[in-house]
Every structure is written in structure tokens, then in C-alpha cells.
Chains A and B, each alone.
Chain A
């Protein structure tokens, strides 16, 4: 198992109190790694650190052996993509144009739109199913459609690694599953994905490598089949539960024990 993207003794925090302290994580290549944990456990902070959005107060993030802060941003952008939580769609922009902006790392002053860009954008739109929306204004789309457009933009970047910060929040369940299936397809075609998810069961179902965090540290990581147990869930979430095998997917399914079933 090789690792191109890893965090080494990473300490991240805003101000004096570090949110993530001396954390080391190796993201296995060609994996679909999902990070879970309760609110304020540091999972989003970790992702932002991996995406070089945050400057670490100690430690480093390495991509293909070099510190990502030492590389030129455009070089890194060709290898590492991010779907941020808080992206703003400029007023009046069409779907095609927004997806097109994802090609920025591959463009230069002399080559502002090449056939490679063309192909990448149309493939990305086809993969996310937004080709018919191509000329529509992003402002006019529904939440689910808009999120797919953002994913298309990240796909158009054509990076080996893709980081996703809570990509399914605010979507209804059908769209959530649709998106997770899309990510699985992506994973199967060779992209290494690292996602932060809220939904534990989705994580258990889709991840090939699961990372459970609490209070800024990793509690457990590995194959979901192996590590998801009732004890782990209780340790991470303070949630008493029962873990069974999902009859549909064969992956662990966490059933919380409410007050009445105890």
C-alpha cells in the first residue's frame, strides 16, 4: 500500500488552542478515505490542513514526498483538488462557465482554453449528469443540482487526489446517495478520495478506509468492516448503539439505541 498524501505530526489551530495536535495520517493511494467524528472533533480542520487552506503551527503535509507548502500552488492544484464547503457562485454565471473555472491550474497566459480543457469539462459534466444544465444559470438551480455542478468543477480539475468537505450536507437522501455513488465511480476509476462526512452509516457503507476522530486525535482507522464496533461508536460519539451487517451492502450498519430501547 503506497501513500502519496500524508500528514506528519500536524498541529493545526486558530490562535492559541490547537484543534488538531501532532496528528499523523497516511492516506492510502486509490482509497476512498472517509473521516468521521462528532462536531468540533477537528475533522474539517484536518481536511483544510491537508488541502493547504490552513497553515500548520507544527508538522507538515506531504504530497508525493514534498511539503505542499513548499510547492507552487498551481502545481499542487494539478494533483490535489478540493470541494470546499463555502464556495460562492458568482452572480449570473452559467454551469458550463463555472465548471470551466476548474481548469485554471492547467491553463496559462498563452493557453487559456485548449482541447484538453474542452474534454475535461465535458467529461466532468457528463459524469455528474449536469450536461443538460450546461447553459443554465447556477443561481437558478436547486440545491442538489448546484452541488453536482461544484463536484463537476472539482472533477474538471482532473487531480489524482480529491478532498471533499461535507459534500452531502443540505441534500435530500436521494441526492446524497447519488453523490456517494458518483464518488464511488470516481474512486474506481483511479482517484484517491478523502471526504469528511457527517453520516456514519454512509461512511461505513462507502469508505474503503475509515478514520474516526475525537478531540483532535485519531481514535481508530482502517477497514470499516473491521473497526466499526459498538464500542468504537460509543467511544467516538458517546452514543450507545448496536452494530449489525447491512443486509443490502454487507457493510456495518449502526443502529442507535434510543432511550426507550434500553
Chain B
């Protein structure tokens, strides 16, 4: 029974449980962050970590390692994890498809094409120079996908947007592959870029990513109430007083900011956006306000833990987080869909 644009039928007892759960999730996130700062091919004990953060001594190699390597990595992991998870929650509610992924609007394909173009055709070689292309590519393609999906009297319905994303994403991938295969230098860059990673970034790279992601998160959270109604269907939502068209636009803006920035900063990382909101819904139920908030906390926790796992699982070198999330995520996803009932929206 629809309870209005907000879920008025959540009892106070339930709200209390959810609040406590959120606290627990936050603790998990903090633990994951500490782990990310402490663990690696050189284990650093938490006390040293705290001292490095509080009383930085740039002569101490351990402190250097923490500040130069691990802190940017951890911060990026938190930002990207939150962006992907919240983006996934938004997309799943928006497309009414509990197993939708942030990539379906074409952000990954657009970003990949733009980077390939920058590297393969324009000859740019340093990440600082081609990463803005990723952002631009992601945004532009999302706009084109949205434009295509809006053609026709019914506007940008979830189905049309999904189809448009598939078609344009495929075309982009085709062009990308064409450029990549012409020249080994391009392949060299792209084969690494296309596997997501949060390592090897510096703090100044984060300065452009952070405001964009924060903006996306804020817009996404503000859309949550309207999204609750939208999942009931456009007509019912309109009857409940939601401005369907403008909500759709804002959601797409949020998704573009979050997914586009995430892929520009870290490369394509699969499954976080698909799985976290899905698992979160088991606990929170379909209220988007709780789903998005929990996703914002658990997404980074998952990503950081996956990254830590990637650092320790191999005898030498590390496994990039994009691979770890895929290898972890695939069995979990399959297990999820084999359950009798997929947790709905």
C-alpha cells in the first residue's frame, strides 16, 4: 500500500533499528579505512598511522608511505565507493530493475572512448592530461543517451534509456577497439586503464573528483523521496504529487556526476554499484532514503576491503581492485539471483 512520497508506515521501532545499523555500518567503514591505511606490502601498525595523520614527520619513511600512498588511495576508495554504490541505488530505483548497474547509461563506454581518443589519436600520455577527457566523455555520452531516450512523447522512460545506453555504448566500444588495436602504445595505456584501480593517484588528483562526487551524492539523496514514489510507476507518482520529468532529470544528473567522476578517477569498476544497494535493501527495505544512506557508507567499506584484499592475496605485486570486485561480485550476484525472490524495490 503506497504510503505517500515518503514512507510514513515505518514504525519508530524500525527507524531505531535502522539508525543503529547505520552506526554499525559507519564503524565498519572506519575499520576498513584503517585497514586500508595499515595493510599493504609493508604492514604499518595503526598507531603509526594515527601519528602520521596527526603529527606528520616527513623524514619518517613510514609516515611518507601513509601520506603519499595510502591516504590518497583510501580517500579515493571512499569517494569512488560511495559514488558507485549510491549511483547504483539511484539507477536501480530509476529503472525499476533491481539488478541494474551504473554502467548502463553508457558512462564507462563514453569515458573509455574519450581516453582512447586522447591517448591514441591526440597522443597524450600522462594521466593528468587524459583524465579530463574521461570526465568529458562520460558526461557527453550520458547526455546523448538521455537525449536519445527522451525522443518520443513519453519522454525518458527507464526502458528507453536502458536501450539507448546499450546501443550507444556498443557503438562507442566499437570505435574504442578500432583505435586501441591500431597501435601498441595505445593498447599499453588502455589495457591498464580499463581495469579499475584506486592506487597510484595523488592527492591533487582528488581535488577535482571530490566536489563532483559530493555534489552528486547530495543531489541523489535529495531525490530519494521522489524516487520512492517513482518506483511505484509514473502515473501513481504523478498522482502523489511528484514532478516526474524534473525528478528524472535530477536523477540522471546525479548518476552522471557520480558514475562519470568515479570512472574518470579510478577507471571502470564493476559490481559495487550493482551489489551494494541490492544487499542493503535486504536490511533496510525499499525506502530509498535509507538505501542510499547505507549504500554511501557500505559502498566505500566494500571497495576498501576489496582493495586491501587485492594487496595481500598475491605472493608478489597486487591485484587491482577492478578485478577483485568482479571476482568477488560475480559469485555473489549469481547466488543472489538464485534465491527464490530477488529483493525488490
In the complex, A touching B (Cβ < 8 A): no
A residues in contact (CB < 8 Å) with B: none
